[in-house]
Structure 1
Amino acid sequence: MGSATTHALAATSAALDAASGVDLDVATQLFTAARTLADSVQLRSALADGAAAPSARTAVINAVFAKEFAPSAVSLLNAAVEQRWSSDADLVAGIEELAVRAAVVADPSTDVEGELFWFSRIVADNPELELALGSRLGDASAKGTLVESLVDGKVSAATSLIISSIVRQPGERRVRAILTQALDIAARQRGRTVATVTTAHDLGASQIDRLRSALSARYRTDVSINVVIDAAVVGGLRVAIGDELIDASVSTRLADLRQRLAG
Protein backbone atom coordinates (compact mmCIF):
# COMPACT_ATOMS: atom_id res chain seq x y z
CA MET A 1 0.00 0.00 0.00
CA GLY A 2 1.46 3.34 -1.06
CA SER A 3 1.69 6.38 1.20
CA ALA A 4 -0.94 8.20 -0.86
CA THR A 5 -3.43 5.40 -0.29
CA THR A 6 -2.62 5.26 3.43
CA HIS A 7 -3.39 8.97 3.72
CA ALA A 8 -6.52 8.64 1.58
CA LEU A 9 -7.88 5.79 3.72
CA ALA A 10 -7.38 7.86 6.87
CA ALA A 11 -9.18 10.81 5.27
CA THR A 12 -12.17 8.76 4.11
CA SER A 13 -12.43 7.08 7.50
CA ALA A 14 -12.50 10.52 9.14
CA ALA A 15 -15.20 11.63 6.69
CA LEU A 16 -17.32 8.64 7.68
CA ASP A 17 -16.86 9.37 11.39
CA ALA A 18 -18.09 12.92 10.77
CA ALA A 19 -21.00 11.93 8.53
CA SER A 20 -24.65 11.79 9.52
CA GLY A 21 -27.46 9.68 8.16
CA VAL A 22 -25.27 6.64 7.53
CA ASP A 23 -27.53 3.58 7.34
CA LEU A 24 -27.51 0.27 5.52
CA ASP A 25 -28.92 1.90 2.39
CA VAL A 26 -25.87 4.17 2.30
CA ALA A 27 -23.57 1.19 2.83
CA THR A 28 -25.34 -0.68 0.03
CA GLN A 29 -24.86 2.27 -2.32
CA LEU A 30 -21.16 2.48 -1.48
CA PHE A 31 -20.75 -1.22 -2.31
CA THR A 32 -22.61 -0.59 -5.58
CA ALA A 33 -20.26 2.28 -6.39
CA ALA A 34 -17.22 0.10 -5.74
CA ARG A 35 -18.55 -2.55 -8.13
CA THR A 36 -19.38 0.07 -10.74
CA LEU A 37 -15.84 1.43 -10.64
CA ALA A 38 -14.35 -2.07 -10.69
CA ASP A 39 -16.30 -2.84 -13.86
CA SER A 40 -15.34 0.39 -15.67
CA VAL A 41 -11.69 1.08 -16.45
CA GLN A 42 -12.59 4.49 -17.87
CA LEU A 43 -14.55 5.62 -14.82
CA ARG A 44 -12.08 4.50 -12.18
CA SER A 45 -9.16 5.92 -14.16
CA ALA A 46 -10.89 9.30 -14.34
CA LEU A 47 -11.65 9.28 -10.62
CA ALA A 48 -8.12 8.21 -9.62
CA ASP A 49 -6.42 10.70 -11.96
CA GLY A 50 -4.19 12.76 -9.67
CA ALA A 51 -3.61 15.30 -12.43
CA ALA A 52 -7.31 16.22 -12.48
CA ALA A 53 -8.62 18.81 -10.04
CA PRO A 54 -10.59 17.38 -7.11
CA SER A 55 -13.60 19.40 -8.26
CA ALA A 56 -13.47 17.64 -11.63
CA ARG A 57 -13.43 14.24 -9.93
CA THR A 58 -16.36 15.10 -7.65
CA ALA A 59 -18.26 16.39 -10.69
CA VAL A 60 -17.96 12.90 -12.19
CA ILE A 61 -19.29 11.34 -8.99
CA ASN A 62 -22.25 13.70 -8.95
CA ALA A 63 -23.02 13.05 -12.62
CA VAL A 64 -22.90 9.27 -12.23
CA PHE A 65 -24.40 8.67 -8.78
CA ALA A 66 -26.22 11.74 -7.41
CA LYS A 67 -29.61 10.97 -8.97
CA GLU A 68 -29.83 7.46 -7.49
CA PHE A 69 -27.82 7.67 -4.27
CA ALA A 70 -28.55 9.24 -0.90
CA PRO A 71 -26.78 12.56 -0.22
CA SER A 72 -24.68 10.91 2.52
CA ALA A 73 -23.41 8.27 0.08
CA VAL A 74 -22.56 10.89 -2.56
CA SER A 75 -20.79 13.00 0.06
CA LEU A 76 -18.67 10.04 1.18
CA LEU A 77 -17.82 9.15 -2.42
CA ASN A 78 -16.79 12.75 -3.02
CA ALA A 79 -14.58 12.61 0.07
CA ALA A 80 -12.92 9.49 -1.38
CA VAL A 81 -12.24 10.87 -4.87
CA GLU A 82 -10.96 14.17 -3.51
CA GLN A 83 -7.98 12.21 -2.17
CA ARG A 84 -4.95 11.02 -4.08
CA TRP A 85 -4.65 7.25 -4.36
CA SER A 86 -1.58 5.22 -5.28
CA SER A 87 -3.57 3.44 -8.02
CA ASP A 88 -7.09 3.19 -9.40
CA ALA A 89 -7.32 -0.32 -7.87
CA ASP A 90 -6.59 1.23 -4.46
CA LEU A 91 -9.45 3.67 -5.00
CA VAL A 92 -11.87 0.80 -5.62
CA ALA A 93 -10.58 -1.07 -2.57
CA GLY A 94 -10.83 2.13 -0.53
CA ILE A 95 -14.48 2.63 -1.42
CA GLU A 96 -15.19 -1.02 -0.61
CA GLU A 97 -13.52 -0.52 2.78
CA LEU A 98 -15.62 2.61 3.27
CA ALA A 99 -18.73 0.53 2.55
CA VAL A 100 -17.74 -2.11 5.13
CA ARG A 101 -17.14 0.60 7.70
CA ALA A 102 -20.49 2.22 6.87
CA ALA A 103 -22.31 -1.08 7.41
CA VAL A 104 -20.65 -1.40 10.83
CA VAL A 105 -21.61 2.18 11.71
CA ALA A 106 -25.19 1.50 10.64
CA ASP A 107 -25.53 -1.46 13.02
CA PRO A 108 -23.56 -0.57 16.19
CA SER A 109 -25.13 -3.20 18.44
CA THR A 110 -24.19 -6.24 16.33
CA ASP A 111 -21.01 -8.30 16.66
CA VAL A 112 -20.20 -7.99 12.96
CA GLU A 113 -16.65 -9.26 13.49
CA GLY A 114 -17.90 -12.42 15.19
CA GLU A 115 -20.45 -13.07 12.47
CA LEU A 116 -17.87 -12.58 9.72
CA PHE A 117 -15.56 -15.00 11.52
CA TRP A 118 -18.35 -17.55 11.80
CA PHE A 119 -18.97 -17.42 8.05
CA SER A 120 -15.25 -17.59 7.28
CA ARG A 121 -15.12 -20.88 9.21
CA ILE A 122 -18.12 -22.17 7.24
CA VAL A 123 -16.18 -21.43 4.05
CA ALA A 124 -12.97 -22.96 5.42
CA ASP A 125 -14.80 -26.19 6.24
CA ASN A 126 -16.55 -26.39 2.84
CA PRO A 127 -14.14 -26.46 -0.14
CA GLU A 128 -17.01 -26.66 -2.63
CA LEU A 129 -18.55 -23.49 -1.24
CA GLU A 130 -15.20 -21.73 -1.30
CA LEU A 131 -14.71 -22.75 -4.93
CA ALA A 132 -18.20 -21.59 -5.90
CA LEU A 133 -17.76 -18.20 -4.26
CA GLY A 134 -14.17 -17.73 -5.42
CA SER A 135 -14.55 -18.72 -9.07
CA ARG A 136 -14.02 -15.83 -11.47
CA LEU A 137 -16.30 -17.59 -13.94
CA GLY A 138 -19.35 -17.51 -11.68
CA ASP A 139 -22.09 -14.91 -11.99
CA ALA A 140 -21.52 -12.15 -9.43
CA SER A 141 -25.18 -11.61 -8.56
CA ALA A 142 -25.68 -15.37 -8.18
CA LYS A 143 -22.85 -15.47 -5.63
CA GLY A 144 -24.50 -12.70 -3.66
CA THR A 145 -27.85 -14.50 -3.75
CA LEU A 146 -26.19 -17.77 -2.63
CA VAL A 147 -24.60 -16.05 0.36
CA GLU A 148 -27.84 -14.34 1.33
CA SER A 149 -29.63 -17.72 1.33
CA LEU A 150 -26.89 -19.30 3.46
CA VAL A 151 -26.83 -16.60 6.14
CA ASP A 152 -30.52 -15.70 6.20
CA GLY A 153 -31.68 -15.63 9.81
CA LYS A 154 -28.21 -16.48 11.09
CA VAL A 155 -26.46 -13.09 10.92
CA SER A 156 -27.45 -9.45 11.05
CA ALA A 157 -28.50 -7.44 8.00
CA ALA A 158 -25.19 -5.56 8.18
CA THR A 159 -23.10 -8.73 8.08
CA SER A 160 -25.24 -10.25 5.33
CA LEU A 161 -24.74 -7.09 3.26
CA ILE A 162 -20.98 -7.14 3.77
CA ILE A 163 -20.55 -10.80 2.85
CA SER A 164 -22.92 -10.81 -0.13
CA SER A 165 -21.29 -7.65 -1.48
CA ILE A 166 -17.61 -8.56 -1.17
CA VAL A 167 -18.02 -12.02 -2.73
CA ARG A 168 -19.40 -10.38 -5.86
CA GLN A 169 -16.11 -8.65 -6.56
CA PRO A 170 -13.25 -10.78 -5.21
CA GLY A 171 -10.78 -9.80 -7.92
CA GLU A 172 -7.63 -11.84 -7.46
CA ARG A 173 -8.30 -12.38 -3.76
CA ARG A 174 -9.31 -15.66 -2.14
CA VAL A 175 -12.71 -15.66 -0.46
CA ARG A 176 -11.31 -16.39 3.01
CA ALA A 177 -8.81 -13.56 2.54
CA ILE A 178 -11.49 -11.00 1.74
CA LEU A 179 -13.60 -12.19 4.68
CA THR A 180 -10.61 -11.81 6.99
CA GLN A 181 -9.90 -8.38 5.56
CA ALA A 182 -13.52 -7.31 6.10
CA LEU A 183 -13.37 -8.64 9.67
CA ASP A 184 -10.22 -6.59 10.36
CA ILE A 185 -11.84 -3.46 8.87
CA ALA A 186 -14.93 -3.93 11.02
CA ALA A 187 -12.79 -4.33 14.14
CA ARG A 188 -10.73 -1.22 13.35
CA GLN A 189 -13.89 0.79 12.83
CA ARG A 190 -14.83 -0.09 16.41
CA GLY A 191 -11.34 0.55 17.74
CA ARG A 192 -10.54 -3.10 18.29
CA THR A 193 -7.91 -5.63 17.20
CA VAL A 194 -8.86 -9.18 16.30
CA ALA A 195 -6.99 -12.17 17.76
CA THR A 196 -7.55 -15.65 16.34
CA VAL A 197 -6.86 -18.29 18.98
CA THR A 198 -6.30 -21.89 17.87
CA THR A 199 -6.70 -24.52 20.58
CA ALA A 200 -7.29 -28.25 20.80
CA HIS A 201 -10.25 -27.80 23.13
CA ASP A 202 -12.98 -25.21 23.52
CA LEU A 203 -12.17 -22.41 25.96
CA GLY A 204 -14.46 -21.46 28.78
CA ALA A 205 -15.80 -17.94 29.17
CA SER A 206 -13.43 -17.19 32.07
CA GLN A 207 -10.41 -18.38 30.05
CA ILE A 208 -11.42 -16.19 27.12
CA ASP A 209 -11.89 -13.21 29.44
CA ARG A 210 -8.43 -13.69 30.97
CA LEU A 211 -6.84 -14.06 27.55
CA ARG A 212 -8.64 -10.96 26.27
CA SER A 213 -7.46 -8.95 29.26
CA ALA A 214 -3.86 -10.12 28.83
CA LEU A 215 -3.81 -9.35 25.11
CA SER A 216 -5.52 -5.99 25.59
CA ALA A 217 -2.89 -5.03 28.16
CA ARG A 218 -0.05 -6.22 25.94
CA TYR A 219 -1.26 -4.44 22.79
CA ARG A 220 -2.89 -1.48 24.53
CA THR A 221 -6.15 -1.82 22.64
CA ASP A 222 -9.45 -3.65 22.95
CA VAL A 223 -9.07 -7.17 21.59
CA SER A 224 -11.81 -9.31 20.06
CA ILE A 225 -11.22 -13.07 20.45
CA ASN A 226 -12.12 -15.64 17.79
CA VAL A 227 -11.54 -19.29 18.67
CA VAL A 228 -10.65 -22.10 16.24
CA ILE A 229 -10.75 -25.68 17.51
CA ASP A 230 -8.00 -27.82 15.99
CA ALA A 231 -7.00 -31.12 17.62
CA ALA A 232 -3.67 -30.99 15.78
CA VAL A 233 -2.31 -28.41 18.23
CA VAL A 234 -2.58 -31.14 20.96
CA GLY A 235 -2.57 -28.62 23.81
CA GLY A 236 -1.73 -25.03 24.58
CA LEU A 237 -2.62 -22.10 22.37
CA ARG A 238 -1.65 -20.48 19.10
CA VAL A 239 -2.59 -16.80 18.92
CA ALA A 240 -2.51 -14.78 15.70
CA ILE A 241 -2.98 -11.04 16.18
CA GLY A 242 -2.14 -8.58 13.47
CA ASP A 243 1.13 -9.70 11.88
CA GLU A 244 2.30 -11.48 15.04
CA LEU A 245 2.01 -15.16 15.91
CA ILE A 246 2.30 -16.29 19.53
CA ASP A 247 2.74 -20.06 19.40
CA ALA A 248 2.56 -21.83 22.75
CA SER A 249 1.08 -25.03 21.40
CA VAL A 250 2.22 -28.49 22.42
CA SER A 251 2.46 -29.56 18.77
CA THR A 252 5.02 -26.85 18.08
CA ARG A 253 7.07 -27.75 21.15
CA LEU A 254 7.05 -31.41 20.12
CA ALA A 255 8.12 -30.49 16.60
CA ASP A 256 10.99 -28.40 18.00
CA LEU A 257 12.05 -31.30 20.23
CA ARG A 258 12.02 -33.75 17.32
CA GLN A 259 14.10 -31.36 15.27
CA ARG A 260 16.71 -31.01 18.04
CA LEU A 261 16.87 -34.79 18.55
CA ALA A 262 17.34 -35.29 14.81
CA GLY A 263 19.92 -32.71 14.68
Structure 2
Amino acid sequence: MTAHGASRQALAAARERLDALTDSTSVDAAQLADELAAITALLHREAGLRRVLTDPAQTGEAKAELVQRLLGAQVSGPAVDLVAGMVRSRWSQPRDLVDALEELANSADLTAAQRAGALDDVEDELFRFGRIVASSTELRAALTDRAASASAKVELLHRLLGGRANATTERLVTRLVTAPRGRSLEAGLESLSKLAAERRDRMVAVVTSAVPLSDTQKQRLGAALAKLYGRQMHLNLDVDPEVIGGIRVQVGDEVINGSLADRLDDAARRMAS
Protein backbone atom coordinates (compact mmCIF):
# COMPACT_ATOMS: atom_id res chain seq x y z
CA MET A 1 0.00 0.00 0.00
CA THR A 2 1.02 3.64 -0.45
CA ALA A 3 0.70 5.39 2.89
CA HIS A 4 1.10 9.04 3.75
CA GLY A 5 1.71 10.99 6.93
CA ALA A 6 0.30 9.41 10.06
CA SER A 7 -0.68 6.25 8.22
CA ARG A 8 2.91 5.65 7.12
CA GLN A 9 4.08 5.68 10.73
CA ALA A 10 1.17 3.49 11.84
CA LEU A 11 1.89 0.97 9.10
CA ALA A 12 5.58 0.82 10.00
CA ALA A 13 4.66 0.11 13.63
CA ALA A 14 2.16 -2.56 12.57
CA ARG A 15 4.77 -4.28 10.41
CA GLU A 16 7.15 -4.37 13.37
CA ARG A 17 4.46 -5.88 15.60
CA LEU A 18 3.66 -8.52 12.99
CA ASP A 19 7.34 -9.43 12.64
CA ALA A 20 7.63 -9.74 16.41
CA LEU A 21 4.58 -12.03 16.51
CA THR A 22 5.62 -14.24 13.63
CA ASP A 23 9.19 -14.54 14.93
CA SER A 24 7.64 -16.76 17.58
CA THR A 25 7.21 -20.33 16.35
CA SER A 26 4.24 -20.67 18.72
CA VAL A 27 2.20 -18.39 16.44
CA ASP A 28 0.56 -20.13 13.48
CA ALA A 29 1.34 -17.62 10.71
CA ALA A 30 -1.12 -19.17 8.23
CA GLN A 31 -3.95 -19.05 10.79
CA LEU A 32 -3.05 -15.46 11.63
CA ALA A 33 -3.18 -14.61 7.91
CA ASP A 34 -6.69 -16.06 7.59
CA GLU A 35 -7.89 -14.16 10.67
CA LEU A 36 -6.44 -10.84 9.49
CA ALA A 37 -8.01 -11.39 6.07
CA ALA A 38 -11.40 -11.96 7.73
CA ILE A 39 -11.02 -8.75 9.75
CA THR A 40 -10.03 -6.93 6.56
CA ALA A 41 -13.24 -8.13 4.89
CA LEU A 42 -15.29 -7.06 7.92
CA LEU A 43 -13.90 -3.53 7.97
CA HIS A 44 -14.19 -3.24 4.20
CA ARG A 45 -17.93 -4.02 4.50
CA GLU A 46 -18.60 -1.95 7.61
CA ALA A 47 -17.78 1.66 6.81
CA GLY A 48 -19.15 2.89 10.13
CA LEU A 49 -16.97 0.54 12.13
CA ARG A 50 -13.77 1.48 10.35
CA ARG A 51 -14.59 5.16 10.86
CA VAL A 52 -15.03 4.57 14.59
CA LEU A 53 -11.76 2.61 14.81
CA THR A 54 -9.82 5.41 13.11
CA ASP A 55 -11.64 8.35 14.73
CA PRO A 56 -8.96 10.70 16.16
CA ALA A 57 -11.52 12.06 18.63
CA GLN A 58 -11.63 8.65 20.37
CA THR A 59 -8.79 7.57 22.64
CA GLY A 60 -6.58 4.75 21.47
CA GLU A 61 -7.48 2.74 24.55
CA ALA A 62 -11.21 3.08 23.90
CA LYS A 63 -10.75 1.84 20.34
CA ALA A 64 -8.57 -1.05 21.49
CA GLU A 65 -11.24 -2.06 24.03
CA LEU A 66 -13.84 -2.04 21.24
CA VAL A 67 -11.64 -4.39 19.20
CA GLN A 68 -11.33 -6.69 22.20
CA ARG A 69 -15.14 -6.80 22.64
CA LEU A 70 -15.87 -7.37 18.96
CA LEU A 71 -13.12 -9.85 18.09
CA GLY A 72 -12.03 -11.43 21.34
CA ALA A 73 -14.27 -14.47 20.94
CA GLN A 74 -13.88 -14.70 17.17
CA VAL A 75 -10.14 -14.85 16.47
CA SER A 76 -6.92 -15.80 18.26
CA GLY A 77 -5.20 -13.69 20.89
CA PRO A 78 -2.32 -12.69 18.58
CA ALA A 79 -4.77 -11.39 15.96
CA VAL A 80 -6.73 -9.39 18.54
CA ASP A 81 -3.56 -7.94 20.06
CA LEU A 82 -2.22 -6.95 16.64
CA VAL A 83 -5.43 -5.18 15.58
CA ALA A 84 -5.82 -3.53 19.00
CA GLY A 85 -2.33 -2.12 18.61
CA MET A 86 -3.15 -0.86 15.14
CA VAL A 87 -6.25 1.06 16.22
CA ARG A 88 -4.27 2.75 18.97
CA SER A 89 -2.23 4.38 16.19
CA ARG A 90 -3.37 7.40 14.20
CA TRP A 91 -4.46 6.83 10.58
CA SER A 92 -4.80 9.53 7.94
CA GLN A 93 -8.02 8.01 6.62
CA PRO A 94 -10.15 4.94 7.48
CA ARG A 95 -9.26 3.08 4.29
CA ASP A 96 -5.57 3.09 5.25
CA LEU A 97 -6.30 0.83 8.23
CA VAL A 98 -8.04 -1.69 5.96
CA ASP A 99 -5.22 -1.57 3.41
CA ALA A 100 -2.69 -2.16 6.18
CA LEU A 101 -4.62 -5.13 7.55
CA GLU A 102 -4.73 -6.68 4.09
CA GLU A 103 -0.97 -6.24 3.68
CA LEU A 104 -0.33 -7.83 7.07
CA ALA A 105 -2.55 -10.80 6.18
CA ASN A 106 -0.55 -11.37 3.02
CA SER A 107 2.75 -10.90 4.86
CA ALA A 108 1.72 -13.48 7.47
CA ASP A 109 0.95 -15.99 4.72
CA LEU A 110 4.33 -15.31 3.11
CA THR A 111 5.99 -15.80 6.48
CA ALA A 112 4.35 -19.22 6.69
CA ALA A 113 5.78 -20.05 3.26
CA GLN A 114 9.20 -18.79 4.33
CA ARG A 115 9.15 -21.00 7.42
CA ALA A 116 8.37 -23.98 5.19
CA GLY A 117 11.22 -23.12 2.82
CA ALA A 118 8.74 -22.42 0.02
CA LEU A 119 9.02 -18.64 -0.37
CA ASP A 120 11.00 -18.85 -3.62
CA ASP A 121 8.38 -21.18 -5.09
CA VAL A 122 5.58 -18.80 -4.11
CA GLU A 123 7.39 -15.83 -5.69
CA ASP A 124 7.88 -17.70 -8.94
CA GLU A 125 4.30 -19.02 -8.99
CA LEU A 126 2.83 -15.56 -8.47
CA PHE A 127 4.91 -14.27 -11.37
CA ARG A 128 3.96 -17.16 -13.66
CA PHE A 129 0.29 -16.85 -12.78
CA GLY A 130 0.44 -13.15 -13.66
CA ARG A 131 1.90 -14.06 -17.04
CA ILE A 132 -0.85 -16.62 -17.63
CA VAL A 133 -3.52 -14.05 -16.82
CA ALA A 134 -1.87 -11.48 -19.10
CA SER A 135 -1.87 -13.94 -22.00
CA SER A 136 -5.47 -15.14 -21.62
CA THR A 137 -8.27 -12.62 -22.01
CA GLU A 138 -10.83 -15.36 -21.30
CA LEU A 139 -9.24 -16.31 -17.98
CA ARG A 140 -8.91 -12.68 -16.92
CA ALA A 141 -12.55 -12.04 -17.81
CA ALA A 142 -13.68 -15.07 -15.79
CA LEU A 143 -11.67 -14.04 -12.73
CA THR A 144 -12.79 -10.40 -12.80
CA ASP A 145 -16.44 -10.93 -13.81
CA ARG A 146 -18.53 -9.06 -11.23
CA ALA A 147 -21.56 -11.17 -12.06
CA ALA A 148 -19.75 -14.42 -11.23
CA SER A 149 -20.06 -15.75 -7.69
CA ALA A 150 -17.08 -15.95 -5.36
CA SER A 151 -17.56 -19.72 -5.09
CA ALA A 152 -17.33 -20.08 -8.87
CA LYS A 153 -14.07 -18.13 -8.93
CA VAL A 154 -12.69 -20.17 -6.05
CA GLU A 155 -13.53 -23.38 -7.92
CA LEU A 156 -11.88 -22.10 -11.09
CA LEU A 157 -8.71 -21.14 -9.22
CA HIS A 158 -8.62 -24.50 -7.48
CA ARG A 159 -8.81 -26.26 -10.84
CA LEU A 160 -5.96 -24.09 -12.11
CA LEU A 161 -3.71 -24.09 -9.04
CA GLY A 162 -4.76 -26.96 -6.79
CA GLY A 163 -2.00 -29.54 -6.64
CA ARG A 164 0.12 -27.51 -9.08
CA ALA A 165 1.05 -24.54 -6.90
CA ASN A 166 2.01 -24.05 -3.29
CA ALA A 167 -0.96 -23.75 -0.92
CA THR A 168 0.18 -20.24 0.04
CA THR A 169 0.09 -19.15 -3.61
CA GLU A 170 -3.44 -20.48 -3.98
CA ARG A 171 -4.61 -18.70 -0.81
CA LEU A 172 -3.05 -15.37 -1.83
CA VAL A 173 -4.48 -15.45 -5.34
CA THR A 174 -7.88 -16.60 -4.13
CA ARG A 175 -8.13 -13.72 -1.66
CA LEU A 176 -7.10 -11.25 -4.34
CA VAL A 177 -9.64 -12.54 -6.86
CA THR A 178 -12.56 -12.83 -4.45
CA ALA A 179 -11.86 -9.53 -2.65
CA PRO A 180 -10.12 -7.18 -5.12
CA ARG A 181 -11.20 -4.05 -3.20
CA GLY A 182 -11.15 -1.87 -6.29
CA ARG A 183 -7.76 -2.98 -7.66
CA SER A 184 -7.10 -4.55 -11.02
CA LEU A 185 -6.02 -8.18 -10.99
CA GLU A 186 -2.67 -7.21 -12.52
CA ALA A 187 -1.98 -4.55 -9.88
CA GLY A 188 -2.88 -6.96 -7.11
CA LEU A 189 -0.57 -9.68 -8.42
CA GLU A 190 2.27 -7.18 -8.81
CA SER A 191 1.76 -6.02 -5.23
CA LEU A 192 1.88 -9.61 -3.97
CA SER A 193 5.08 -10.29 -5.91
CA LYS A 194 6.77 -7.23 -4.43
CA LEU A 195 5.66 -8.18 -0.95
CA ALA A 196 7.07 -11.67 -1.41
CA ALA A 197 10.42 -10.25 -2.53
CA GLU A 198 10.56 -7.92 0.44
CA ARG A 199 10.39 -10.88 2.82
CA ARG A 200 14.09 -11.35 2.05
CA ASP A 201 14.80 -7.66 1.46
CA ARG A 202 15.16 -8.35 -2.23
CA MET A 203 14.33 -6.34 -5.31
CA VAL A 204 12.55 -7.98 -8.22
CA ALA A 205 13.95 -7.85 -11.75
CA VAL A 206 11.62 -8.99 -14.53
CA VAL A 207 13.94 -10.44 -17.18
CA THR A 208 12.61 -11.09 -20.69
CA SER A 209 14.91 -12.86 -23.14
CA ALA A 210 14.56 -14.37 -26.60
CA VAL A 211 15.67 -17.79 -25.33
CA PRO A 212 15.96 -19.25 -21.81
CA LEU A 213 19.06 -18.06 -19.98
CA SER A 214 21.67 -20.55 -18.88
CA ASP A 215 22.42 -20.97 -15.17
CA THR A 216 25.70 -19.12 -15.68
CA GLN A 217 23.96 -16.21 -17.40
CA LYS A 218 21.36 -16.01 -14.64
CA GLN A 219 24.05 -15.99 -11.95
CA ARG A 220 26.09 -13.31 -13.75
CA LEU A 221 23.05 -11.14 -14.37
CA GLY A 222 21.78 -11.50 -10.81
CA ALA A 223 25.19 -10.66 -9.35
CA ALA A 224 25.63 -7.63 -11.62
CA LEU A 225 22.18 -6.24 -10.82
CA ALA A 226 22.65 -6.84 -7.09
CA LYS A 227 25.88 -4.82 -7.14
CA LEU A 228 24.31 -2.07 -9.24
CA TYR A 229 21.30 -1.65 -6.98
CA GLY A 230 22.97 -2.53 -3.69
CA ARG A 231 20.37 -5.15 -2.78
CA GLN A 232 19.82 -8.85 -3.32
CA MET A 233 17.96 -9.39 -6.58
CA HIS A 234 15.27 -11.95 -7.38
CA LEU A 235 14.94 -12.69 -11.10
CA ASN A 236 11.50 -13.35 -12.58
CA LEU A 237 12.30 -14.95 -15.93
CA ASP A 238 10.15 -14.79 -19.06
CA VAL A 239 10.85 -15.84 -22.63
CA ASP A 240 9.68 -13.79 -25.63
CA PRO A 241 11.04 -14.72 -29.08
CA GLU A 242 10.44 -11.15 -30.24
CA VAL A 243 13.36 -10.00 -28.07
CA ILE A 244 15.68 -10.86 -30.93
CA GLY A 245 19.14 -11.75 -29.68
CA GLY A 246 18.77 -9.59 -26.62
CA ILE A 247 17.29 -9.10 -23.21
CA ARG A 248 14.96 -6.72 -21.43
CA VAL A 249 15.31 -6.10 -17.70
CA GLN A 250 12.81 -4.13 -15.63
CA VAL A 251 13.58 -3.20 -12.02
CA GLY A 252 10.75 -1.15 -10.58
CA ASP A 253 10.11 1.66 -13.07
CA GLU A 254 13.54 1.38 -14.70
CA VAL A 255 13.83 -0.57 -17.95
CA ILE A 256 17.14 -1.76 -19.38
CA ASN A 257 17.17 -2.85 -23.00
CA GLY A 258 20.07 -4.34 -24.95
CA SER A 259 22.00 -7.52 -25.55
CA LEU A 260 22.98 -9.58 -22.55
CA ALA A 261 26.71 -9.25 -23.21
CA ASP A 262 26.48 -5.49 -23.76
CA ARG A 263 24.46 -4.91 -20.60
CA LEU A 264 26.77 -7.04 -18.44
CA ASP A 265 29.81 -5.27 -19.85
CA ASP A 266 28.17 -1.93 -19.12
CA ALA A 267 27.31 -3.09 -15.61
CA ALA A 268 30.92 -4.09 -15.05
CA ARG A 269 32.13 -0.68 -16.23
CA ARG A 270 29.70 1.13 -13.95
CA MET A 271 30.77 -0.95 -10.97
CA ALA A 272 34.42 -0.17 -11.65
CA SER A 273 33.87 3.59 -11.96
TM (norm. structure 1) is: 0.88
Match of 1:17 in 2: 19
Indicate the RMSD between aligned Cα atoms, in angstroms: 1.8
Change (3 A) 1:222 1:169: same
Equivalents in 2 of 1:147, 1:57: separation in Å? 37
Equivalents in 1 of 2:186, 2:85: separation in Å? 29
Match of 1:6 in 2: 8
**SS of aligned partner of 2:178:** coil
**SS of aligned partner of 1:167:** helix
Paired residues, number: 250
1:128 deviates by: 1.5
Please tell me whether residue 232 in structure 1 is matched to residue 242 in structure 2: yes
Please list, as runs of the form range in 1=range in 2, the aligned pairs for 1:246-261 lying within 5 A after superposition.
Answer: 246-248=256-258
Higher mean C-alpha deviation, range 15-24 or range 48-57: 48-57
Equivalents in 2 of 1:148, 1:48: separation in Å? 36
Change (3 A) 1:161 1:44: same
TM (norm. structure 2) is: 0.85
Change (3 A) 1:204 1:91: same
Match of 1:117 in 2: 127
Match of 2:63 among 57, 65, 69: 57
Please list, as runs of the form range in 1=range in 2, the aligned pairs for 1:118-197 lying within 5 A after superposition.
Answer: 118-197=128-207
Aligned amino acid, residue 136 of structure 1: R
Equivalents in 1 of 2:168, 2:232: separation in Å? 22
Q: Given that residues 113 and 187 in structure 1 are in contact (C-alpha distance below 8 angstroms), is that contact kept between their aligned partners in structure 2?
A: yes
Please tell me whether residue 213 in structure 1 is matched to residue 220 in structure 2: no
**SS of aligned partner of 1:224:** strand
**What are the superposed Cα offsets for residues 58-82 of structure 1, whole Å, 9 maximum, x if unpaired?**
2222222221211112222223222
**What are the superposed Cα offsets for residues 101-133 of structure 1, whole Å, 9 maximum, x if unpaired?**
101111211122112112111211221221222
Aligned amino acid, residue 112 of structure 2: A
Match of 1:94 in 2: 100
Q: Given that residues 197 and 227 in structure 1 are in contact (C-alpha distance below 8 angstroms), is that contact kept between their aligned partners in structure 2?
A: yes
1:144 deviates by: 3.1
1:31 deviates by: 1.0
1:95 deviates by: 0.6
**What are the superposed Cα offsets for residues 220-246 of structure 1, whole Å, 9 maximum, x if unpaired?**
111110012222222322111123222
Match of 1:201 in 2: 211
Equivalents in 1 of 2:151, 2:128: separation in Å? 22
Aligned amino acid, residue 33 of structure 1: I
Match of 1:258 in 2: none
* Same amino acid, percent of matched pairs: 37
Q: Given that residues 166 and 178 in structure 1 are in contact (C-alpha distance below 8 angstroms), is that contact kept between their aligned partners in structure 2?
A: yes
Aligned amino acid, residue 34 of structure 2: T
